[in-house]
Amino acid sequence: MLYHLFYPLHSAYGVFRIFRYISFRVFMSILTALVISFLLGPVIIRFLKRLQPGSNNIREDVPERHLLKSGTPTMGGILIILSFLSSFLLWARLDVYVTWVVTTATLGFALIGFFDDFLKLSRKNSKGLSMKTKLKFQGLTALAVVAILLLCHFETHLQVPFFKDFSPELGWFFVPFAILVIVGTSNAVNLTDGLDGLAIGPVLVSAFTYLLLAYVASNEKISNYLQVIPVSGAGELAIFCGAIVGSGLGFLWFNTYPAQVFMGDVGSLSLGAALGTVAIITKQELLLLLVGGVFVLETVSVIIQVFSFRTMGRRVFKMAPIHHHFELKGWAEPKVIVRFWIVSIILALLALTTLKLR
């Protein structure tokens, strides 16, 4: 918005040329989202406490010590959504289609998460939307996002890490593939959101990594040098990721152990969908498996646990997702959280090295 207000004045006042630089708008989106989070955080937490008096929003399939957190307000993802989308739309170009694609994906999945959280609160238990219903609405929302991309003549080539000249054309297979990326990432982040600050840490790392990847894809010279598929409008995605980083840091201030507020599905589902959509548009879908390796690990641990129990009647882990396994092994909650953050940072660094290993 500010770009459209001030950049046209650059011919008369040279200082307004600064609005054309993606780097300036990225830094400002981070700072703006952070400030909004700090200002709105206490207000939203007080509101959520009044909205959820005496509610039991702790899942039943968790270690017993988590029952002590009962009464901590959930739906804190509202703070994240308000801060990062307002900051993003303030600093992004509104005449670029990717701006509205990522906004649609985020709001669509946030709405699904909101209804899930609302049902849990109204029923005063941890059961919201059924998994079947949730997946159906997630699939339809992701399909709408993919349809918008295709209507805008989006390239459906797949960038394969470690290979210079191998970029297969997916054709119509792009549709189910992209839906899987968006829905899968959304639910993977949701599964990771089980400890105070656990999910937001890898989200921050992933968002910052894709900020760099989006910036590379937006710059023709850099993308050609690194042999990355250039993407029109990718610079706005860097601003989008910057806003996620700023709002995530602000949310972490209130969500760090012991948490004053939980993210809830409204936050985890929307952030996962946002990351998945950015990965698709920047043509770095496969790299998300490495960047979001913590999310992959959490999801795979659940799949292994369910498969093992149903086929052999045995559990591989003490409890799934795997962060609960480490808790039951005696790791303190902060130790699990910080070590998962460290793993996430290492994986992100490894992912960035693939830009040169081709």
- pTM comes to 0.95
In a domain, 3, yes or no: no
Name residues whose C-beta falls within 8 Å of residue 326's C-beta, 6 or more positions apart in sequence. 336
DSSP one-letter code for 29: H
pLDDT at 76: 95
- 11: amino acid identity, one letter: S
In angstroms, the CA 330 to CA 183 distance is: 33
pLDDT at 55: 58
Q: Is cis: bond before 202, omega within 30 of 0?
A: no
* Residue closest to 335 by CA, chosen among 326, 346, 348: 326
Q: Determine the structural domain holding residue 255 and report its residue range.
A: 23-353
In a domain, 234, yes or no: yes
In angstroms, the CA 333 to CA 58 distance is: 16
Question: Please, which residues bridge with residue 157 across strands?
Answer: 169
pLDDT at 208: 98
In a domain, 7, yes or no: no
pLDDT at 14: 87
In a domain, 309, yes or no: yes
In angstroms, the CA 47 to CA 212 distance is: 36
In a domain, 15, yes or no: no
The tokens describing 269, both together, are 């589902």
Strand intervals (E) in the chain: none
Residue pLDDT, tens place only, 263-298: 999 999 999 999 999 999 999 999 999 999 999 999
In a domain, 96, yes or no: yes
* Residue closest to 182 by CA, chosen among 317, 279, 78: 279
The total of structural domains in the chain comes to 1
Strand intervals (E) in 2-62: none
Task: Please report, for residues 10, 72, 165, 210, 345, the alpha-carbon distance to residue 356 in angstroms, rounded to integers and kept in the order given.
Answer: 37, 45, 14, 16, 18
From first to last of its 358 residues, what are the pLDDT tens digits of the chain? 898 998 888 888 889 999 999 999 999 999 999 999 999 999 999 999 888 776 556 666 667 677 677 778 999 999 999 999 999 999 999 999 999 999 999 999 999 999 999 888 887 666 778 889 999 999 999 999 999 999 998 989 898 887 777 789 999 999 999 999 999 999 999 999 989 999 999 999 999 999 999 999 998 888 888 888 889 899 999 999 999 999 999 999 999 999 999 999 999 999 999 999 999 999 999 999 999 999 999 999 999 999 999 999 899 999 999 999 999 999 999 999 999 999 999 999 999 998 877 6
pLDDT at 122: 80
Per-residue burial over 27-39, b if 16 or more Cβ lie within 10 Å, else e, is ebbbebbbebbee
In a domain, 271, yes or no: yes
In a domain, 17, yes or no: no
